[in-house]
Amino acid sequence: MAAGGNLSRTERKAAARAEILQQEEQRDRRRQVSRILKKPVAERNPEESLLLSECEDIVRELERRCKKREGLRRRQEEVCDEPEELKRKVIELAAAVQSAKHLVIYTGAGISTAASIPDYRGPNGVWTLLQKGRSIRATDLSEAEPTLTHMSIACLHKHNLVQHVVSQNCDGLHLRSGLPQAAISELHGNMYIEVCTSCTPNREYVRVFDVTERTALHRHHTGRMCHKCGAQLRDTIVHFGEKGTLREPLNWEAATEAASKADVILCLGSSLKVLKKYPHLWCMSKPPSRRPKLYIVNLQWTPKDDLAALKLHGKCDDVMRLLMEELGLEIPCYDRTKDPIFSLAIPLSPDEEGSHSRRPVAPPWSLEEAQMQEQEQEPASQLSLSLSGGWFGRGCAKGSKRKKVN
């Protein structure tokens, strides 16, 4: 047979046919071996055992694949610590919080699931469902309120136990919990904020509705204009595959500065698969002995588990409720009348009123009107909320005292 390019057309076709037949034979052999490996050893006949001994390379490959699939499956499983074990771990975490000189909290989608906002990699997470070929339903974020975890973090910051919060979430619930904007780095943006990048410094517009209705990957203009210079406004969201360039609300400078000063980092509700890619947040340039101690609260495996001083397998609200109890701090209720979004929001100009169709966050006075109507329809003894107390308790911890806000 001639070599290389000197093969005749007939010889090339024969060689291609032989290669196809060989590949089909290997696939059949792999399927046979796979079926045999699924059988218990005691149920394999001599012919099957002989085939396995003749196909050691295929056996090793299939066993490696099986082990990898099993490892991935275990990583996706949600694990909960037993109540006594979780309590013991929370006591250890409380001691770390109290002794920390500079505590920084990193938060992910897991802290907002209690507000009916789906996470990404949980059993019903966005990516999990998409990988299974299932559709994901649209979520109305206008009804979401800060969770017990959000309110606990704001309280810890108020008592100087937390110095800074770095969040991957775009839902704006940290801001709405009362956490000061200077204390938050929203690395992936805020759905309630649009900015004018033509103004120097960038002019920020906080809205009471989701500004991302017309935006998408690499397409960020919201369709509204700057009230000062007339330039187009853009959203602040950083999509997967994009690099965040806005100074605010991403606040990368404050995030890296906080990480460099941190002696303790507490990660809440994050898989850390994205955050791990930001080396400045983990002080990787420092020797291991000088890096901050890492505490992780998450139901699933994270790539930082082996580096953690403590891993708590529990829901964020459950852990934070125990932590605040251990610290002797009362968890404040979310009070819509004190929600900063209403005082920070810039109203639309008259010609912008029809520029969006997203439902806005209901202002507290509209809730009061609804409450008055409900009060007229129901006996006073059945009311679950009291207007005279000046609070709305949907965000309260179960069993905690509802505190009147003066």
Q: What is the DSSP code (8-state) at residue 126? A: H
Instruction: Please report, to the nearest 10 degrees, the dihedral formed by the alpha carbons of residues 194, 195, 196, 200 taken in order.
Output: 170
Q: Is 333 annotated as a binding residue?
A: no
Q: Is 226 annotated as a binding residue?
A: yes
Q: How many C-beta neighbours within 10 Å does residue 40 have? A: 6
- Residue 210's alpha-carbon distances to 24, 66, 143, 361, 404, in angstroms, are 54, 44, 11, 9, 30
Closest CA to 268 of 112, 134, 58: 112
- The sheet with strand 203-206 has its strands ordered as 203-206, 193-196, 232-235, 221-225
Structure-token match 């400045």, residue found? 280
397 Cβ contact partners less than 8 Å away, ≥ 6 residues apart: 148, 317, 321, 324, 331
How far apart are the C-alpha atoms of 152 and 324, rounded to whole Å? Answer: 7
Local structure of 278: helix, strand or coil:
coil
Q: How many C-beta neighbours within 10 Å does residue 324 have? A: 23
What region, left, alpha or beta, does residue 98 occupy, with left being phi > 0 and alpha being psi -120 to 50 degrees?
Answer: alpha
How far apart are the C-alpha atoms of 149 and 155, rounded to whole Å? Answer: 10
- The sheet with strand 293-297 has its strands ordered as 184-186, 164-167, 103-107, 264-268, 293-297, 310-312
Q: Is 66 annotated as a binding residue?
A: no
H helices present in 249-377, as ranges: 252-261, 316-327, 340-344, 364-377
Three-class SS of 140-176: CHHHCCCCHHHHHHHHHHHCCCCCEEEECCCCCHHHH
Instruction: Please report, to the nearest 10 degrees, the dihedral formed by the alpha carbons of residues 111, 116, 122, 125 taken in order.
Output: -130
Instruction: Please report, to the nearest 10 degrees, the dihedral formed by the alpha carbons of residues 127, 131, 136, 139 taken in order.
Output: 0
So which residues are the catalytic ones? 188
Q: Is 199 annotated as a binding residue?
A: yes
Annotated binding site: 196, 199, 226, 229
Residue list for the binding site for Zn(2+): 196, 199, 226, 229
